[in-house]
Structure 1
Amino acid sequence: MQSEVFVRGMLYLSLTVVGVPGNAAVIWAFLHQLHQEKRLLPADAIVLHLASVNLLVVAVRCLLETLASFHLASVFGDTGCRAVIFVYRTSRSLSIWLTFSLSAYQCLSIAPPGSRWTSARTLAARYLGCIFVFLWVLNTCMSSAAILFSLARQNDSALVSHGINVQFCYVRFPSKLSKEANGAAQVGRDVVPMTLMAVASLILLLFLYKHSRQVKGLRSGGGAGSRGGAEHRAAKVVVALVTLYVVLYGVDNGLWVYTLTIKKTMRSSLISDLRIFFSSLYAALSPLVIIASNRKVNGRLRCATQEKPVQDKATALSTL
């Protein structure tokens, strides 16, 4: 095995080892809450949806890339390449838009009671299912080019100039114009939610700063302190996720723009590998941020780990 392929496989293996259990744990925690309480808060539903999409990103792309790198499985024929790239692009863009949805809803949640933003929050909560469907349809349509242009990798002599090498597959565009148009659409699809979530996070931080100053003298009284503490914890989660998104997807989109501007990008898959790694890194690391900062998820996972030894002990005693 070539050292380059081995390193590549180890990088994707690290994302798989971190991302699959992390997202699965978040999904289990909220499904367990849904089973017990028969409902989820809108913000929790968004996080559950985000973790599900991130799990899809890691499982479909990173896990399959790991298996192919170590020659454990081969799914990258023409049909396999189209399916993997299509699902990966769709779930990746959904992850971005759901992160924006989370930051926007959290921003609406701290609006003063009786304001027009409170009505917007109520509408968003009521039609959250419709928002999810709209995002799925939008991102599925924008990723449809992967079905048309993705093929299994062939010899370098067979590759065309207007294409992108992604190691086991390549995306072959019919012309330079179609390649640049597709690239511009992907950049726009990422930049729009990135800008919106950055604005929402800034509004959130400014409001919390103003609110903390207003209630500073009332913290020793009653519920103001606990409410302010909860708001600050929610703000930290949003800021952490948005910062993680901006850094990793900023690198990803920078590499994508570079790919569109240089010639002969089909000869090496290094740039594409780096793009996939950085964009998948968000899907692998975001559940760690959620587990560390979300008390509901953290509490349920702790209860699960504490209940297991008790159950094992009870089983052992029953066999005596």
Structure 2
Amino acid sequence: MTLNNIVLGFLFVFQTGFGVLGNSFLLGLYTTIFFIGPRLRPIDLLLTHLAFVNNLVLLSKGIPQTTAALGFNNFLDDVGCKLVFYLHRVARGLSLWTTCFLSGSQAIILSPRHSRWAKIKARIPKGIGPFCFLCWNFHLLIYYSILLRVKGPTRIKNITERNDLIYCSATFDISYDVIQSVFIFSLPDVFCVGIMVATSRCMFSILYKHHQTVQYVHGNNVTPRSSPETRATQTILALVSMFISFYSLNSILALYMQLGKPKSWLIHMSAFLAACFPVCSPFVSIVSDSQVSKYSMFLFDRIKLLVQQNPEKYS
């Protein structure tokens, strides 16, 4: 085991642990508030789902990648490789679609009352549950081929199999792969990214016009506080911008890797970029969304009250 492998392994450990900690905090906070606290916003339900699937992305990729970086490449058998890659691709797709729905729904909520989207505003909270259900079913179905083609690292028998996954191998049929990648996997992703770009521009335009109106009413020397809805929109814009940036970089690297046999450092870099959004997104919400701090203070006050009412039990 070289020094580079040790450093790379600790880098993945830190990245995975840091991201799981942030997502688990949000997941636990929103779940607790759902049962004992004030009514959650529709955006909070989507952020809860996003935190859950981001944890799946990190755990299904970070742990195997860490183990492989430390030099242990044969720790998974056929079943383990199939489940790890299948779960990672499903969770990654769910993260993309949830972020897309988050962006689209907030753009509709911000739309003027006289717009054609006004009638859909009231239906958004009711559509979150069916959306998550359909997304899970769609991604579980569309990535079924991974269960058939990903194998353990010791199953490389001929040139149609490439061990370019470091700790697993996969069979490839070039003609079928191109059709499947472009029309089944890539088009839905490109469609979602396009929606996020369009809705982000729409939200930015609405916020800019609102800011100009407020500055005109209050004067240039006054800086009024942003409304909760505005801060929530700014949080979503930050999440979407971050997702598009990391997704674009990772897609370019993945395309380059498909053109030839990639080196191990490229595979590790691709895994690192793929995990950047799940790691950073919870902390963007924690820092920029004031509702998170309000939920945290509410939960802290409830715990403090519970301890004061039962001092003997918690002493």
TM over 0.5: yes
- Distance (Å, rounded) in 1 between the aligned partners of 2:291 and 2:122: 22
Partner of 2:275: 280
Alignment of 1:236 onto 2:231: no
Correspondence 1:285-300 to 2 at 5 A: 285-300=280-295
Q: Counterpart in 2 of 1:215? A: 214
Q: Distance in 1 between matches of 2:50 and 2:229?
A: 21
C-alpha distance 304-39 of structure 1, shift in aligned 2 (>3 A): closer
What CA distance in whole angstroms lies between the structure 2 residues aligned with 1:77 and 1:18?
A: 28
The TM-score, its normalising length taken from structure 1, stands at 0.85
Corresponding residue number in structure 1 for 2:85: 85
Write out aligned runs for 1:187-198 (5 A).
187-198=186-197
Cα distance change, pair 162–253 in 1 and its aligned pair in 2 (3 A)? farther
The letter for the 2-side match of 1:34 is: F
Distance 2:299 2:73 in 1: 34
Q: Which amino acid aligns with 2:290?
A: R
**8 Å contact from structure 1 (residues 160, 172) kept in 2:** no
Q: Report if aligned partners of 1:93, 1:189 keep a CA contact under 8 Å in 2.
A: no
**Structure 1 position 108, deviation (Å):** 0.8
3-state secondary structure, aligned to 2:237: helix
Given that residues 164 and 172 in structure 1 are in contact (C-alpha distance below 8 angstroms), is that contact kept between their aligned partners in structure 2?
no
Partner of 2:42: 42
The answer (yes or no) to whether the contact 1:167–1:273 under 8 Å persists in 2 is no
The answer as to 2:170 corresponding to 1:171 is: yes
| Counterparts of 1:179 and 1:162, CA distance in 2 | 13
Partner Cα separation in structure 1 for residue 301 and residue 8 of structure 2: 37
Letter matched to residue 178 of structure 1: Y
Aligned equivalents of 1:145, 1:303: Cα separation in 2: 46
Partner secondary structure for residue 164 of structure 2 = strand
TM-superposition CA deviations, 1:53-111 (whole Å, max 9, x none):
00111122213433454479975110000000000000011101111111111111111
Q: For the Cα contact (< 8 Å) 1:162–1:172, is it kept in 2?
A: yes
Q: CA deviation at 1:161?
A: 4.4
Between the two proteins, what is the percent identity of the paired residues? 23
**Secondary structure, aligned partner of 2:117:** helix
In structure 2, C-alpha distance between the alignment counterparts of 1:181 and 1:150, rounded to whole Å: 18
- More moved, 39-48 vs 296-305: 296-305
Structure 1 position 315, deviation (Å)? 5.7
- 2:198 paired with 1:199: yes
Residues 315 and 170 (structure 1 numbering): CA distance in 2 closer, same or farther, change over 3 Å?
farther
Following the alignment from structure 2 to structure 1, what is the Cα–Cα distance between the partners of residues 80 and 189?
25
Structure 2 unaligned segments of length 5 or more: list them: none
Structural RMSD (CA)? 3.0
Shift, 1:295, TM fit = 1.7
Contact 1:27 1:51 (C-alpha < 8 Å) held by counterparts: yes
**C-alpha distance in 2 between matches for 1:211 and 1:13:** 43
Structure 1 stretch displaced more, 81-90 or 237-246 = 237-246
The separation in 1 between residues aligned to 2:77 and 2:19, in whole angstroms, is 25
Q: Is the 8 A contact 1:100 1:196 kept in 2?
A: yes
What letter matches 2:101 in structure 1? S
CA contact (8 A) 1:67 1:74 kept: no
C-alpha contact 1:208 1:231 (8 A) present in aligned 2: no
How many matched pairs?
308
Q: CA deviation at 1:276?
A: 1.8
Deviation at 1:275, TM superposition (A): 1.7
1:247 — aligned with what?
Answer: 245
Cα drift, residue 47 of structure 1: 0.6
Q: Distance in 1 between the 2:92 and 2:248 partners?
A: 14
Structure 1: which 5+ runs fail to align?
Answer: none
Aligned to 2:10: 10
Q: Which amino acid aligns with 1:301?
A: S
> What's the CA shift string for 1:274-301, capped at 9, x where partnerless?
2221111111111110111122222333
In the alignment, the residues of structure 2 paired with residue 316 and residue 5 of structure 1 have an alpha-carbon distance, to the nearest angstrom, of 51
Which letter does structure 2 place at the counterpart of 1:198?
Answer: V
Give 1:160 deviation, angstroms.
2.7
